[in-house]
Structure 1
Amino acid sequence: MADPTTVDRLRPGDHVCWTFDDHERHLRALVRFLRKGLEHDQKVLYITDTFLPPAFLAAAQAYGVEVRQPLNDGQLHVTTAEESFLSDGSFEPERALKGWTAAIDQARAEGWSGLRVAADMGWTVRPLVDMGELARYEAQANQIFSAGYAMALCCYDRRLFTHAELERISAAHPGAARAGAGSVEEWEPLLRIRRTPDGVSLDGAADRTNCDALAAVLDPLAAAADDSDTPLVIDVAGLTFADVATARLLAGTVAAGRGRILLRGARPALVELLAVIGSIQAPRAPELTAAKGTPA
């Protein structure tokens, strides 16, 4: 699994697929994730399907994290999948997404600097959960987390899922941390998607490994542009790499906006790729001016 220290590099707005196959290292990663949240005055929520809540809290305390006061203050909450995702006896994606919005609103109202969520996803292998439905839910969650207040660590035990299932689930997250991540070199989520006052910004690399996550955030932009007083902007100045599928997605989003969505800061390689695709002609307008620097 990824080195436990990898969680130290997560930021508000990140939504990461964290795969593991060792419960002790998973526990260490969760405790680090918890500790950082408490230190940064964030509300911390852990939905466990791996450890019993009392056992996890006792382990965190043994690792030197004082949990009693945060529990009393409402800063820390540890629950189970049965009490959250499956509280009505089945998994309902729309209800779960509304639950995240409500949890964010509550954390804001309580004055916390952010919301930090870790969720064990082993419960999804039960017959009552459809993998396609789960992947769509994970993709749609990016619309919520990309606002930049909350971060989510979705923990998948590789021993419970097929390679194909993990590939599909990973594509619904902007970034994934797999075996070895962070142990040799510094790790960052592959792509960071953030909603901005005038649209969306993209930083990092966009390819087939996070295509569904990006599509879920870009798809609603055309409708949003119709209701906006000014054109919406997809800021790609921080996009260091984009494959052909990503370029097609960007071009299609701009076209769907009918002049109400602008692509800004494209690096030379992306500009050329868009021109080759033919959906957007070689740029002349400022919003399509290639950014100086290393090609994407």
Structure 2
Amino acid sequence: MADPTTVDRLLPGDHVCWTFDDHERHLRALVRFLRKGLEHHQKVLYFTDTFLPPAFLAAAQAYGAEVRQPLHAGQLHVTTAEESFLSGGSFEPERALNGWTAAIDQARTEGYAGLRVAADMGWTVRPLVDMDELTWYEAQANQIFSAGYAMALCCYDRRLFTHAELERISAAHPGAARAGAGSDEEWDPLLRIRRTPDGLSLDGAADRTNHDALAAVLGPLAAEVTSGAPVVIDVAGLAFADVAAARLLAGVVAAGRGRVLLRGPRPALTELLALVDSLHAPRASRDRIQAAEGTPA
């Protein structure tokens, strides 16, 4: 499983699939995640499906995390899947997404520096949860978390899911911490997606392991184009993109009809975009890619 210390590397805006197969190490990771959020004056939510809330809180206290005062003040909330994701009797993706938006608005109103969420996702193996709906929900959630105020640690017990299911779930997250992650070397989410004042920034690597997450955020960009300034996708920090990621980027540039620009593509990405563009997109979109290279940061 991923080393518990991997959670120390998460930043506001991250949305990570964190897999585990050992409850003790999972507990250690959760406590580290919780304690850091409390220290940084973030609101902390934990939706448990692995531990009963009183047992988790007692264990967190025993591990050195002071939880009594944050609970009393409302900075910390620990609840179950039945009281959150399944509160309506079934999983409704749109309702869950609206819930994140409401939770972020509330945390902002209460003056917190951010919102930190950990969610045990074992409840998703129940018959009332559809895998297609789950992966759609996880992908769409990136539109919310990429705003950079909230972060989410989605905890999947590898013993409950097939390899194929975990692959699908992981692809809906920009980054995944799988077995061995962070144990002997530093670990960061593979891709970081952030909204910016003029559009979007991408840092890291985009490939099949986070394809659905990237697609969900890029898809609506063309619709945001107005008569004002163009939407800019800053890819200067994108160290690698596979062909599928390049197709997504070229596609949104083409759909923007000259109002979606790519800023700072590295030479390898520029070549790949030109190749994809020549095969699949209108020639005019290639001009938008080249023009954005000179767009000032």
TM over 0.5: yes
Question: Quick one: distance in 1 between partners of 2:95 and 2:195?
Answer: 22
Q: Which amino acid aligns with 1:198?
A: D
Q: How many residues align?
A: 290
Name the counterpart of 1:281: 286
Name the counterpart of 2:231: 232
Question: Quick one: distance in 2 between partners of 1:254 and 1:113?
Answer: 34
Deviations 1:156-177 (A, max 9, x none): 0000000000000000000000
Name the counterpart of 2:137: 137
Moved more, 228-237 or 247-256: 228-237
Name the counterpart of 2:68: 68
Asked if structure 2 preserves the Cα contact closer than 8 Å seen for 1:251 and 1:274, the reply is yes
Query: Which stretches in structure 2 are left out of the alignment for 5+ residues?
Result: none
SS of the equivalent of 2:88 reads coil
> What percentage of residue pairs aligned between the two structures are identical?
84
Q: Which amino acid aligns with 1:79?
A: T
Q: Which amino acid aligns with 2:244?
A: A
Name the counterpart of 2:151: 151
Matches within 5 A, 1:60-209: 60-209=60-209
| TM-score of the pair, normalised by structure 1 | 0.96
Question: Quick check: 1:217 aligned with 2:202?
Answer: no
Asked if structure 2 preserves the Cα contact closer than 8 Å seen for 1:236 and 1:264, the reply is yes
Deviations 1:199-253 (A, max 9, x none): 000000000000000000000011111x352110000000000000000110000
Question: How far off is 1:23 after superposition?
Answer: 0.3
Question: Quick one: distance in 2 between partners of 1:27 and 1:157?
Answer: 12
Name the counterpart of 1:18: 18
Question: Quick one: distance in 1 between partners of 2:286 and 2:112?
Answer: 46
Asked if structure 1 preserves the Cα contact closer than 8 Å seen for 2:140 and 2:216, the reply is yes
Q: Which amino acid aligns with 2:292?
A: E
Aligned CA distance change for structure 1 residues 284 and 27 (closer, same or farther; 3 Å): closer
Name the counterpart of 2:37: 37
Asked if structure 1 preserves the Cα contact closer than 8 Å seen for 2:47 and 2:118, the reply is yes
SS of the equivalent of 1:41 reads coil
| TM-score of the pair, normalised by structure 2 | 0.95
Question: Quick check: 1:56 aligned with 2:61?
Answer: no
Asked if structure 2 preserves the Cα contact closer than 8 Å seen for 1:5 and 1:29, the reply is yes
Question: Quick one: distance in 2 between partners of 1:97 and 1:272?
Answer: 37
Asked if structure 2 preserves the Cα contact closer than 8 Å seen for 1:236 and 1:265, the reply is yes
Query: Which stretches in structure 1 are left out of the alignment for 5+ residues?
Result: 292-296
Question: Quick one: distance in 1 between partners of 2:273 and 2:253?
Answer: 11
Dislocated runs of 4+, deviation >4 Å: 282-285
